[in-house]
């Protein structure tokens, strides 16, 4: 059997670690080409050795010496810097798993697409930032984008073999985050420690905060719109605290198909890495007789305004989505740094969108590069807004 060649961008993170697990569990099926991280040279070197990668790359040049020293005598190449990340993404491979956090993942992921590689996409910010320009790039370079975010992976599985014209609506589920049952006042003053305690998933810091504000679900609506070409009015969100149903598709005749599985990212990751086949994985399949009962409720737009902001941005168009994403990254970093309260995150995003509108910036970026320029403008405006908080 020929091995599938895999590159992992953001290998030291939460999705990265789940990916490393899947790859290390089946060395006969996979040959690892390159692995990357931003700063953690020691952890990256461990991963590169465990997976017998050809190359390991750190984005931060100051981490190069540690990486080189840790890989001495192993035959694994070490490299550093932003352009080295892009080069690693473009190395000959079959699939690139994109698990960098934030719009920082856009350039290397676009480099993988330009090289014609299939991309298993966990990094949603890349799609929210560049939208149609990113999907166009993939079409032009004949690169399949395999949805790895759990809800999108569920839709990817659910629509396999169906005709989109037969589908009425698509529902993404949300756990509701750690503040699902909190009142507005308590939410407004929640601390980073409280916001990082996700009830069902174990994830990186940024997405954990996005899950607490429900911005994550908003970003995911925009992601679903681009991945599958779903019109905004056909996209729904339901809060489902058990996180066992990941998405649902409602057909015109009223039948609802749902995808269920344990809240474990190794499942969608394995689905993308083995695609279009399936394989056994070490993940226990869900025992429904032991599962809690499944419940569903509408999200509350009053207590979770970030979701509404993302829905408005989706309707408004790509410029608004790009600005929403950049402003959110600035606001979340400020919250994690204890510089603004939780309640300010959505306010900073909203005020940044209004400022960008006043400056006439909410135009559709025509290319990935234009999206990155607008992302930079959004960050500049968000910092101004933040300083006035």
Annotated binding site for 1-deoxy-D-xylulose 5-phosphate: 124, 150-151, 175, 198, 211, 216-217, 220
174 strand-pairing partners:
239
H helix intervals, 337-367: 344-358
Binding mask 125-154 for ligand NAD (x = CB under 6 A): x-----------------------xx----
User: Could you tell me which stretch among 108-116, 142-150, 324-332, 342-350 binds Mg ion (CB under 5 A)?
Assistant: 142-150
Tell me how crowded residue 40 is: count the other CB atoms within 10 A of its CB.
Answer: 18
Binding mask 253-292 for ligand NAD (x = CB under 6 A): ------------x---------------------------
Q: By CB under 5 A, name the one of 66, 86, 118, 149 that touches Mg ion.
A: 149
Q: Which one of Mg ion, ligand NAD, none is in contact with 127 (Cβ closer than 5 to 8 A by kind)?
A: none
What is the DSSP code string of 6-62? EEEETTTSHHHHHHHHHHHT-TTTEEEEEEEESS-HHHHHHHHHHHT-SEEEESSGG
d(CA 63, CA 37): 10
Q: By CB under 6 A, name the one of 64, 182, 201, 274 that touches ligand NAD.
A: 201
If binding means CB under 5 A, how many residues of this protein chain bind Mg ion? 3
Q: By CB under 6 A, name the one of 20, 37, 174, 270 that touches ligand NAD.
A: 37
Is residue 329 close enough to count as binding Mg ion by CB under 5 A?
Answer: no
- Among residues 246, 254, 237, 247, the alpha carbon closest in space to that of 180 is found at 237
Q: Which one of ligand NAD, Mg ion, none is in contact with 375 (Cβ closer than 5 to 8 A by kind)?
A: none
Could you give the C-alpha distances from 36 to 55, 56, 87, 146, in angstroms and in order? 8, 6, 11, 20
Which three-class secondary structure state does DSSP give residue 246? strand
User: Could you tell me which stretch among 94-102, 163-171, 224-232, 343-351 binds ligand NAD (CB under 6 A)?
Assistant: 94-102
With beta carbons less than 8 A apart as the criterion, state whether 85 and 57 touch.
yes
Tokens 């799609």: give the residue.
Answer: 127
Q: Which one of Mg ion, ligand NAD, none is in contact with 16 (Cβ closer than 5 to 8 A by kind)?
A: ligand NAD
Residues belonging to the binding site are 12-15, 40, 123-125, 149-151, 175, 198, 204, 211, 216-217, 220
Tokens 């970003």: give the residue.
Answer: 219
Q: Which residues bind ligand NAD (CB under 6 A)?
A: 10-16, 37-38, 59, 85, 99-101, 104, 122-125, 149-150, 201, 203-204, 206-207, 265
């Amino acid at each position: 059997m020929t091995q599938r060649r895999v590159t992992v961008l953001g290998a030291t993170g939460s999705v990265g670690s789940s990916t490393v697990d899947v790859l290390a569990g089946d060395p006969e099926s996979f040959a690892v080409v390159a692995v990357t991280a931003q700063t953690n040279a020691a952890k990256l070197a461990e991963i590169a050795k465990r997976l017998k990668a050809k190359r390991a790359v750190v984005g931060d040049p100051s981490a190069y010496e540690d990486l080189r020293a840790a890989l001495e005598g192993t035959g694994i190449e070490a490299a550093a810097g932003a352009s080295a990340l892009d080069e690693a993404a473009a190395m000959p491979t079959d699939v690139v798993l994109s698990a960098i956090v934030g719009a920082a993942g856009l350039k290397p992921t676009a480099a993988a697409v330009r090289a014609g590689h299939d991309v298993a996409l966990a990094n949603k910010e890349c799609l929210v930032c560049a939208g149609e320009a990113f999907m166009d790039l993939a079409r032009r370079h004949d690169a399949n984008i395999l949805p790895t975010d759990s809800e999108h992976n569920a839709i990817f599985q659910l629509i396999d073999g169906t005709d989109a014209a037969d589908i009425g609506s698509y529902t993404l589920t949300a756990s509701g985050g750690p503040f699902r049952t909190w009142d507005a006042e308590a939410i407004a003053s929640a601390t980073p420690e409280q916001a990082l305690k996700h009830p069902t998933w174990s994830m990186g810091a940024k997405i954990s905060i996005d899950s607490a504000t429900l911005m994550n679900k908003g970003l995911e609506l925009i992601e679903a719109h681009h991945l599958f070409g779903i019109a905004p009015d056909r996209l729904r969100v339901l809060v489902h605290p058990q996180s066992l149903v990941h998405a649902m598709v409602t057909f015109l005749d009223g039948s609802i198909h749902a995808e269920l599985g344990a809240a474990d990212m190794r499942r969608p990751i394995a689905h993308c890495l083995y695609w279009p086949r399936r394989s056994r994985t070490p993940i226990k399949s869900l025992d429904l007789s032991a599962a809690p009962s499944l419940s569903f409720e509408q999200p509350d737009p009053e207590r979770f305004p970030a979701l509404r902001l993302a829905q408005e941005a989706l309707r408004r168009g790509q410029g608004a989505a790009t600005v929403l994403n950049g402003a959110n990254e600035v606001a979340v970093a400020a919250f994690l740094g204890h510089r603004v309260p939780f309640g300010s995150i959505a306010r900073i995003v909203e005020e940044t969108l209004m400022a960008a509108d006043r400056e006439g910036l909410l135009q559709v970026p025509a290319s990935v590069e234009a999206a990155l320029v607008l992302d930079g403008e959004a960050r500049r405006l968000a910092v101004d807004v933040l300083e006035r908080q």
